Amino acid sequence: MNSWDWSNVDTFMPRFWDGLLVTLQALVLGTLIAFSLGLVWAIAQRSENTWIRWPVTAVTEFIRNTPLLVQLFFLFYVLPEWGPAMSPLTTGIIGLGLHYSTYTAEVYRAGINGVPIGQWEAATALNLPKTRTWTAVILPQAIRRVVPALGNYVVSMLKDSPMIAVIGAFEMLGEAQAYSNETFTTEAITIVGVAFICIAYPASLLIRVLERRLVQ
Amino acid sequence: MMTSGMFWTWFLPGIWVTIQVTIYSAALAAAVAFIVGPLRTSRFWIVRFLAGTYFEIFRGTSALVLMFWMFFALPLFGWQLVPMWAGVSALGLTYGAYGSEIVRGALAAVDPAQREAGIALSFTRFQRLRRIELPQAWPEMIPPFNNLLIELLKGTALVSVITVADMTFAGNLVRLGSNESAPIYTLLLVLYFVIAFVLTRGMRVVERHAKANIGQAPEKQPGFLSRKLSARGESAQAGTQSAGGIG
């Protein structure tokens, strides 16, 4: 460590907190999109109507098997040709949310498949309408057991969030990169790397606790 | 439309670079996974602890941040990595950590009686691992490895950020050169999807062979890309993603 300089750490810290705030903002909003959209995909994939089921499956498989980075470029450079231009952060949040919604859809799907068939039959026997079967019988049981798996994808999303720096959003990596380019130093990028471990490791411990409490 | 010169001089070689980066980092990740995975079941706590620490650190960092760090910060400590090798090492070390969890999980799922039989026949630890445990754990590992390989392929797009001329990098160049972004990015997404499809098909062939080798019939899998996971598979994969502590 011949070139570590604590004064660089001091000057970078205010910008680090700004970046952390943007990262968390992207993470929270992206998670909201991913969780809600994923549920929509999962239910649509079980639809009896082929014209809903097939296109939704095709689109989610496509999004899930292509890189988030290229999707972000697509949203940022191609979409404004047809619709309104969005800020880098908004684009990033939508990109993260959309990409991870295809993963959460698989998680919900696994959870829904895990609900015993008798529950469906009981709902039919009680003559419950379709919406009530979903909201009162199936989803409460399905979601409970997939909460840890969903949590894992939040951690994954946190680790993918630096990608939005590439389209110009100033989250942690973006701030570190800007600072490093101005000062020709590398402390900032090291701090950000350590920060990711400091957030991701306790988060995964928390998920482990959840796993033990909810799944059985 | 795209300027054809750009397309031939950058984009086609870019596809080859993407494939190369995928192969090299997959090889590195496999090596790391098969070394660190068994070490995490070692009987010495210090070995378990060190392997566990490796796993937690590389699973906790973002691959992109690690790549940046290797590219910009390592030279100051005296190592200058060629951009492509900085990218390959970052991807290989990160995905190797995920892979080690798959190897560990599959080894743990082998019937304990098999290990005991190995002890009874006075095999050494290494012989037991090589002759008894790994061959039986291997078919179990292939579906999660397939998922990881696709994640790795998607991860290779990140190397474009540290100036490796892969197909995403070339796509950006074409956009800058022609001011047409829709065709090139659509083509890029389709190409990644096609490569992912080919890899998944290949892995299914490998799985069928591996299962046949230990006398199991292959399972029928649904879905046109067949990367969908069963409820059991999803929770198993969830386990490899981030839950779990040291040891």
Residue A163 domain-assigned (yes or no): yes
Distances, alpha carbon B241 to alpha carbons A13, A14, A26, A39, A195, in Å: 30, 32, 21, 20, 19
When scoring A5, A65, A141, A205 by the number of chain B Cβ atoms within 10 A, the one with the most, hence best to mutate, is A65
Considering the domain boundaries, does residue A3 fall inside one? Answer: no
CATH number for the domain spanning A99: value is 1.10.3720.10
Using 50 as the pLDDT threshold, list the residues of chain B that sit under it: 1-2, 229-247
The CA-atom distances, in angstroms, between B90 and each of A70, A85, A96, A118, A164 are 19, 33, 22, 48, 19
Of A61, A107, A151, the CB nearest to B234: A107
Write down the domain spans for chain B. Answer: 4-241
Kindly provide the ipTM of the predicted complex, given to two decimals: 0.88
* A1 inside domain: no
* B238 contact residues in A (CB cutoff 8 A): 107, 148-149, 152
B52 token code pair: 């566990």
What CATH number was assigned to the domain covering residues B4-241? Answer: 1.10.3720.10
Res. A216 pLDDT band, cuts 50 70 90: low
pLDDT digit string, tens, across residues B90-121: 999 999 999 999 999 999 999 999 999 999 99
Into how many domains does chain A fold? Answer: 1
pLDDT digits (tens, 9 = 90+) for B189-214: 999 999 999 999 999 999 999 888 88
Residue A55 structural domain:
8-214
Please state, in angstroms and rounded to a whole number, the distance separating the CA atoms of residues A95 and A143. 24
d(CA A109, CA B228): 10
With an 8 Å Cβ cutoff, are A110 and B230 in contact? yes
